[in-house]
A and B are shown apart, each in its own frame.
Chain A
Amino acid sequence: MNFDMGAYGVYIWPAYGVSALAIGGAIVWTLVSWRRAKARLAALEKTPRGTAAPSK
């Protein structure tokens, strides 16, 4: 593997950096909202019907 990009490094590394950040962010956002939705549904299913008044 070669990480010496020469003078073009100033264009190449930001491009890879932005891509990694965006993709990493998308993965984190997707997983966090999945966990949150799962926890919320579980909490709702636990409360007996007709009595629940969970916060939004």
Chain B
Amino acid sequence: MNFLFRYANPHEFMRLSGAVLPVFAVATALCLAIGLYLGFSVPPDYQQGTTVILMFIHVPADVVAELAYGAIAVCSLLSLVWRHPLSDTAARAAAPFGAMFTALGLVTGALWGKPMWGTYWVWDARLTSFLLLLFLYFGYMALWNAIEDETRAARACAILALVGMVNIPIIKFSVDWWSTLHQGESIMSGKIAPVYLAPLLIMMLGYVLLFLTLWMVRIRTAILERRARNLMREAAA
């Protein structure tokens, strides 16, 4: 815990994130470039034809959508239990990116569903629980904006985020618990052909790094905005 508290104070965070940001940005660009190159070099799948290429943007977007929600939930827990100064800022900063990746997962999934399933959308367990994730993000962001007092807003949002966390395992296991059109898990179970696995993993890493990079910049922005607000308050006093 000491480690966490040491680096989670705004001053230390600015120093540390400033040092690692360029590394993260370069690694993101490299992963996405290599992932796209490998992705566009794979042979068509024997069942899915060329649409298999959609996997390299669809799966990473879904993974980051859930990862970002997990990040918000962890920060919310830290905020509620330890009243951590930076955790509210971090939780709030992750939400727009989480919502964006969720929307991308839904759009790329719909565009994959049409040629493979014959429909853009179906109200089955995986798709519906994933749509719920998008609404959770919207609700979370709306709640932040709805409550003026920042401390109260942070507490309400943290509780909402933790309650919404119940949806994450539902998304994950929906393909096992219910019969759905969506295919089952294929990475951990080794069902995916190795030729598709390498570009998929590299693109996943690229998307995760992209999220972490954007998230860090967003937290840094929020810290500066808070400093500016404090200065204005001092000036007004």
A contacts, CB < 8 Å to B = 1-6, 8-9, 11-12, 14-16, 18-19, 22-23, 26-27, 30-31, 33-34, 37-38, 40-41, 44-45, 47, 49-54
Contacts and interface: CB of A to CB of B under 8 A. Distances in A.
Interface stretch (B47-55, B69-77, B162-170): B47-55
Contacts of B141: none
Given A26-B97, A34-B224, 6 more contacts: A11-B115, A18-B108, A26-B96, A30-B214, A44-B235, A50-B235
Interface stretch (B81-89, B99-107, B183-191): B99-107
25 contacts: A4-B50, A5-B53, A8-B49, A9-B50, A11-B54, A11-B115, A12-B50, A12-B51, A12-B111, A15-B107, A18-B104, A18-B107, A18-B108, A22-B104, A26-B100, A26-B214, A30-B214, A31-B217, A37-B228, A38-B224, A41-B224, A44-B232, A51-B235, A54-B232, A54-B235
Sort chain B's interface into a size bin. Answer: 35 or more
A50 B104 CA distance: 47
B119 interface: no
Judged by DSSP, the binding face of A is helix
Contact of A5 (B37, B50, B228): B50
Contact of B217 (A34, A40, A44): A34
A19 B104 contact: yes
B214 A1 contact: no
Contacts of B53: 5, 12
A2 B41 contact: yes
Contacts of A54: 232, 235
Interface in B199-237: 210, 214, 217-218, 220-221, 224-225, 227-228, 231-232, 234-235
